Amino acid sequence: MRRSYFLMGFLLLAVVLIVTFIAYPYLPARVPSHWNTRGQVDAYSGKWILLALNPGMMVFFLALFGFLEWLSPRHWGVQSFRSTYLYIMLVMLAFPVYIQGLLLWAALKGPWDIGRAVTAGVALLIALLGNVMGKLQRNFYIGVRTPWTLASERVWIATHRLAGKTFVAGGIAGLVLSLAGAGVWPFLAVIMAAALVPVAYSLVYYKRLERRGEV
């Protein structure tokens, strides 16, 4: 199973590199590389950035997810939720594939308001991660890792069940806001709320259990 997930990851990397190499001769010498909050291009880079940035990020994710399996202490490893761990790896790899497509389109077709497309992609990423949040077991690297979730398995489970709901809801709300053109600040407020509510809940729930003498 692990081998097939990593194979899919390397195939995604190969697709990005092949498509970028095919497009490379047709790219301008300098390509849009950053947009401000109004959706306007405010920075350009040499076209080599398209061969370095997102493919490099994908290589980093592949190396990181492989290394963390070895690095995890015994009884705190990812073996008990490996399929979820590998699913998260593929979701994280798919995001730079998406961003690479947006950057190539902007470079070949001319500058355009990329902000809505990026925030929509981030919203979808959050929702996909939330879909499996409740399946995560205690570990040091993935999930809502607060002092209180790491100290208590009961708090970890309850927090990640809630996080699954807030991430999915926040991702869907963020996607709707992006498609409606609501702007970056309402989008960020929704995403931050989705992330911070489980953190606050882990503290409140742990302290409740502590007062009862249940931790």
Long-range Cβ contact pairs of 124-128 (< 8 A, separation 24 or more)? 124/171, 124/175, 125/91, 125/95, 125/171, 126/167, 126/170, 126/171, 126/174, 126/191, 126/194, 127/167, 127/168, 127/170, 127/171, 127/172, 127/175, 128/91, 128/171
Q: Which residue has the higher pLDDT, 22 or 42?
A: 22
Average pLDDT for 178-207: 95
Q: How many Cβ atoms are within 10 Å of 149's Cβ, its own excluded? A: 27
Distance separating alpha carbons of residues 124 and 170, to the nearest angstrom: 10
Q: Which residue has the higher pLDDT, 34 or 204?
A: 204
Q: Are the C-beta atoms of 103 and 54 separated by less than 8 Å?
A: yes
- Paired tokens of 87: 């699913």
Distance separating alpha carbons of residues 190 and 172, to the nearest angstrom: 10
Alpha helices by DSSP H, the chain? 2-23, 49-71, 82-109, 115-130, 147-151, 153-179, 184-211
Instruction: Please list the residues that pair with 43 across neighbouring strands.
Output: 34
- pLDDT tens per residue, range 68-118: 988 888 778 888 899 999 999 999 999 999 999 999 999 998 767 788 899
- Paired tokens of 157: 């489970």
Residue 204 has pLDDT above 70, yes or no: yes
Instruction: Please list the residues that pair with 45 across neighbouring strands.
Output: 31
Distance separating alpha carbons of residues 47 and 63, to the nearest angstrom: 25
136 contact partners, CB below 8 Å, separation of at least 6: 81, 84, 142, 143, 160
DSSP designation for 144: -
- The CA-atom distances, in angstroms, between 83 and each of 17, 45, 170, 189 are 26, 38, 24, 31
- pLDDT tens per residue, range 36-72: 877 778 888 999 999 999 999 999 999 999 999 888 8
- pLDDT for the residue numbered 111: 67
Residue 34 has pLDDT above 90, yes or no: no
Average pLDDT for 137-155: 95
